[in-house]
Amino acid sequence: MDSKIYSKIIGTGSYLPTVNVDNNAFLNTKFYDEDGKLVEKSGNEIIDTFQKITTISERRYVSDDQVTSDIAFLAGKDAIENSGIDKESLDYIIVAHNFGDVKELNRRTDIVPSIAARVKYFLQIHNPSTVAYDINFGCPGWLQGVIQADYFIKSGDAKRILVIGADVLSRVSDPHDRDSMLYADGAGAIVLEAIESDKPIGILAHNTRTDTFYHSTMLYMGGSYNPELENRDELYLKMSGRKLYQYALETVPSAIKASLEKCNVNLGEISKVFIHQANGKMDDAILKRLYQLCEIPEIPPHIMPMTVDWLGNSSVATVPTLLDLVFKNKIDNHTINKGEYLIFASVGAGMSINAMVYKA
């Protein structure tokens, strides 16, 4: 068999913000419905219902002096150190995010220069051939960055690429919207390297779709639900949760199945499923639907590592953070061995979905 070029993960990294916020922090919050009506339920009832629906009991926020580029840099630095490469040998730095640098006291989006350019500067990389750019693709942004990196590598344009996913959602969520309890901050990263092999290894196949015609407004920016809030012009992240849940159930499993078919890998060969940590119950439902779609009656134990219950939903950062923790044996009952097949999948604003098959 002739050898081919494949994209292989040679290093992983992450940054978990230090401010730990459990559900009790929302006990005395005044929440409002979409129509501006005060939610007439006790704080305990609100957070208990929220945890049952999402499995989330706590999440991480950045400290007041940190912004997205800071934590993206820390995750990238961790991945570079873990890979053992010379940082000057990177051909690309791709940073996926959705809101840029949003400061604690000035919550306007700041993306000039790009977050990737800032990360390259923080890393003190001198090589002008290390191209740095951002990608904005909703929650699937990090995985889409990995897919782009794979194209660069397989075209011969690059040998080593750093792909980072970082977001600070705590500063763009409406404090009077119950969905704000979903959101968290974080950053994760990988280093991909071109590997020549006569057997398939690394990234084997991927699949992406964007459904805008009917679904483009399921995640959007809008005003606070609190009609008495002073600054009514401030924009916050908003979500049509029930519609998004149903959309994900209908489309994520088929996207994963399509990527498996591209590389002739059976779902029964998969050792781990790394899925966007949006909502624990939703992810469980997606996994169940996937196995039904592929006509496999039983879901293997420990197939899907999870962090959403204690890290919350940090958007583009969830999958690379989860991957880093598993690679470094920091999640009980989850390890990755050479030769195992892995699935990656994410869904988010757009609406967009992507999936990828990987051989360790």
pTM: 0.96
Q: Mean per-residue pLDDT for 68-78?
A: 98
Q: Mean per-residue pLDDT for 136-141?
A: 96
Domain boundary among 148, 176, 197: 197
Please check the confidence at residue 49 and state whether its pLDDT lies above 80: yes
Tell me the pLDDT tens digit for each residue of 301-331.
Answer: 999 999 999 999 999 999 999 999 999 999 9
* Per-residue pLDDT, 1: 58
Residue 18 burial (CB count, 10 A): 10
Same domain as 312, residue 166:
no
Q: Mean per-residue pLDDT for 190-195?
A: 98
| The pair of three-digit structure tokens given for residue 43, joined into one six-digit string | 């704080």
Same domain as 206, residue 353:
yes
Question: Exposed e or buried b for every residue in 237-257, given b needs 16+ CB within 10 A?
Answer: bbbbbeebbebbbebbbbbbb
Same domain as 137, residue 83:
yes
CATH number at residue 11: 3.40.47.10
- Give which of 64, 68, 193 is closest to 136, Cα–Cα: 68
Same domain as 217, residue 187:
no
DSSP 9-54: EEEEEEE--SEEEEGGGGTT---B-TTS-B--S-HHHHHHHHHHHH
Confirm if 185 and 61 have CB atoms less than 8 A apart: yes
- Give which of 227, 225, 159 is closest to 196, Cα–Cα: 159
Please check the confidence at residue 220 and state whether its pLDDT lies above 80: yes
* Per-residue pLDDT, 298: 94
Same domain as 122, residue 223:
no
Domain boundary among 134, 166, 197: 197
**pLDDT tier at 105, thresholds 50, 70, 90:** confident
Listed in sequence order, the residues at least 6 apart from 171 whose beta carbon sits closer than 8 Å to its beta carbon are 99, 102, 103, 104, 107
Q: Mean per-residue pLDDT for 294-300?
A: 94
Query: What's the start-to-end Cα distance of the chain, in Å?
Result: 20
Cα separation values, 3 from 199, 200, 202, Å = 7, 9, 14
Tell me the pLDDT tens digit for each residue of 246-282.
Answer: 999 999 999 999 999 999 999 999 999 999 999 999 9
Q: What is the crossing angle of helices 68-83 and 318-327, to 10°? A: 30
Same domain as 183, residue 95:
yes
* Per-residue pLDDT, 250: 92
Give the domain range for residue 152. Answer: 4-197
Residues of the chain with pLDDT > 70: what percent? 100
Same domain as 133, residue 263:
no
Question: Domains in the chain: how many in total?
Answer: 2
Residue with tokens 């088929």: 254
**Total length of the chain:** 360
Helix (H) or strand (E) holding 303: none
Please check the confidence at residue 26 and state whether its pLDDT lies above 70: yes
Please check the confidence at residue 216 and state whether its pLDDT lies above 90: no
